[in-house]
Structure 1
Amino acid sequence: MNKEQYWKENVILIVKLLLTWFIFTFGLSTFAANFLNNFEFFGVKIGFFLANQGSILFFILIIYIYIKKISKLDKKYSISE
């Protein structure tokens, strides 16, 4: 088992997911909020929704993606609890 390679792939995965979250949170909900506020979803402006609830929901999705990907990485390197 190559622990260094496992850890390297794990860190790369974390960085990619956090970078995606950062882009979503600040890119869409902060910089594009004025544009997104032109659209509504159940009477709530999309820019407002993304700034408040969307980033949290997206973070939960990222946690789910991390769990799935790290499980595959664990199998690849034969790591168990």
Structure 2
Amino acid sequence: MILLAVAAALLVSIALALARAALGPSIFDRIQAAHTVGTCAMVLLAVIGFINGRPDFLDLSLVYGLLNVIGTVAILKFFRHGGMGEAEERTR
């Protein structure tokens, strides 16, 4: 019962973060909201796994979380530096 309430709260959090991603004043606010959606989805996947008695969902959740962090860092690097290559290549 408590896990269902947690899942519902996570769904509300995802909806609010999606609204923030759509209405964010800057690109960095939108990226942060997208990262929040990914984090909430990761936790929701783990909760669904425990509700259904499938603890192997926790492994999937951890992999999804790692991909979420790597993707967020890559996007932030792209917007901050204007590309994904080495910084010294552009200065020459």
- Per the shorter chain, which TM-score range? 0.5 to 0.7
Give the whole-Å Cα distance in 2 for the aligned partners of 1:14 and 1:54: 22
Q: Which has the higher strand share?
A: 1
Q: Which has the higher helix share?
A: 2
Query: Over residues 2-25 of structure 1, what are the superposed CA-to-partner deviations in whole Å (9 max), with x where a residue is unaligned?
Result: xxxxx8211211111221221232
Q: TM-score, normalised by structure 1?
A: 0.52
2:47 pairs with 1:30: yes
Give the whole-Å Cα distance in 1 for the aligned partners of 2:62 and 2:46: 11
Structure 2 residues without counterparts, runs of 5 or longer: 1-24, 88-92
Q: TM-score, normalised by structure 2?
A: 0.47
Higher-RCO chain (CA-CA 8 Å, sequence separation at least 6): 1
Q: Counterpart of 1:55?
A: 61
Query: Over residues 22-47 of structure 1, what are the superposed CA-to-partner deviations in whole Å (9 max), with x where a residue is unaligned?
Result: 12321x33235555x5xxxxxxxxx3
2:30 pairs with 1:12: yes
Output aligned runs, 1:60-79, within 5 Å.
60-74=66-80, 75=82
Q: Percentage identity across aligned positions?
A: 5
Aligned residue pairs total: 59
Code of the residue aligned with 1:49 in structure 2: it is D
* Consecutive aligned runs of 4 or more in structure 1 exceeding 6 Å deviation: none
Structure 1 residues without counterparts, runs of 5 or longer: 1-6, 38-46
